[in-house]
Amino acid sequence: MDFVNNKTQMIELVQAPSAANLTQLEIPYQSFLADKKVFGLETYCSGDLTLSPTGNAIITPAILQNAYLNLYFKAAANRSEGFFVQNLPLISLHRMHSLTTTSYVLDQFLIDGPVVYWEKSFIKLGAPMANGANISFMLNVSYQDPNN
């Protein structure tokens, strides 16, 4: 499947130390991605980026291996509304491998253009994180605007 990545939006989910006992991070409403068709997803860890756009530390590879993505899709002609991505290991969306002497980038995780209800979607953690400062999950979304 050929895919042209014409637009992307980075979602940053910040977990504060006060929320360190949580095992579910709700994704807030994403106004920029409202009613956009999603075609690709990728994530990053501290081996790829040093800081988030807001200056927070990025999750470590160990945290990435402990996280699972759940996406709620809006109804469309070819599907009903509901969770169509359930407990997808977040590590499977990690494309950049720069922790070794030979860096490489894998293909992007592709989906068929659903519209996502971001405010009903979340990241589930297998165990709570023990962070002493703000730490960010980074999710880059490739999308197309059906109106443009």
Q: What percent of the chain has pLDDT over 90?
A: 47
Residue 75 to residues 44, 55, 64, 105, 142: CA-CA distances in angstroms? 29, 36, 29, 33, 20
pLDDT at residue 1, rounded to an integer: 46
pLDDT band at 131 (very low <50, low <70, confident <90, very high): confident
CA end-to-end span of the chain = 22
Over 80: is that where the pLDDT of 60 sits?
yes
Token readout for 51 is 């800081």
Element (H, E) at 116: strand 116-125
pLDDT at residue 100, rounded to an integer: 60
Q: How distant is the alpha carbon of residue 92 from its chain centre?
A: 11
Look at the chain and count its residues.
Answer: 148
Distance between CA atoms of residues 59 and 31, nearest Å: 24
Only one residue has tokens 């920029």, namely 32
Token readout for 17 is 């130390």
Q: Among 48, 39, 44, which Cα is nearest to 12's?
A: 44
The pTM of this model reads 0.86
According to DSSP, the β-strands at 135-144 and 24-26 are unpaired
Q: Which residues pair with 25 in a beta bridge?
A: 123
Token readout for 36 is 């956009």
**pLDDT single digits (tens) 68-110:** 999 999 887 777 888 888 999 998 888 876 656 555 566 777 7
